Structure 1
Amino acid sequence: MDINEIRQILLDALNLQDVRVTGDGSHFQVIAIGDMFEGMSRVKQQQAVYAPLMEYISDNRIHALSIKVYTPAEWERDRKLSGM
């Protein structure tokens, strides 16, 4: 799998404002940004991102996945704090 495939799967499956994916072929990092995460527990946020990718995790096209989830407001705040 490549990062563009993962990005498109998440954009098609979830109501997200942005998705950033990095990785090296089987180990990926995802930053998902969307209003849909407002009021959800961290566990529910992670489950929402994992769900559309489970097929690829099951057959080892994705071996490892790190997920960070933000609402748009959280993303703006964290970007300002980190100087991005």
Structure 2
Amino acid sequence: MPMAAEEIETLIRAELPDAEVTITDLAGDGDHYSAHVVSARFAGMTRVKQHQAVYAALGGRMGGVLHALQLTTAAPKE
């Protein structure tokens, strides 16, 4: 069963409440998404650590319920 974009956003915001989250369904099938996440919590973190924080927020759903996620992350510009 595909995962809804709203559920992805809710999970990310639960872990990163300050985040600006934009989710795009890339294929229209509810299985292939793009997520752009901007959070002050990412300041000073490597890109790998930023992505790990988002994957942790998804609670192990990657590769299962959530098939594919193209992820871009950033700290807010000052």
Interval containing the TM-score (normalised by the shorter chain): 0.7 to 0.9
Specify which of 42, 50, 68 is matched with residue 64 of structure 1: 68
Aligned to 1:51: 56
Once superposed, what is the RMSD of the aligned Cα atoms? 1.6
- How many equivalent pairs are there? 73
Aligned to 1:40: 45
Q: 1:1-84 maps to which residues of 2 (within 5 A)?
A: 1-23=3-25, 24=28, 25-58=30-63, 60-73=64-77
Gaps of 5+ in 2: none
Gaps of 5+ in 1: 75-84
Could you tell me whether the CA contact under 8 Å between 2:5 and 2:24 is conserved in 1? yes
Percent of aligned pairs with the same amino acid? 36
**Structure-2-length-normalised TM-score:** 0.82
Return the alpha-carbon distance in structure 2 between the equivalents of residues 65 and 36 of structure 1.
Answer: 20
Aligned to 1:77: none
Q: Deviations over 1:20-77 (max 9, x none)?
A: 111131111110011101100111011011112142224x211111110111217xxx
**Structure-1-length-normalised TM-score:** 0.77
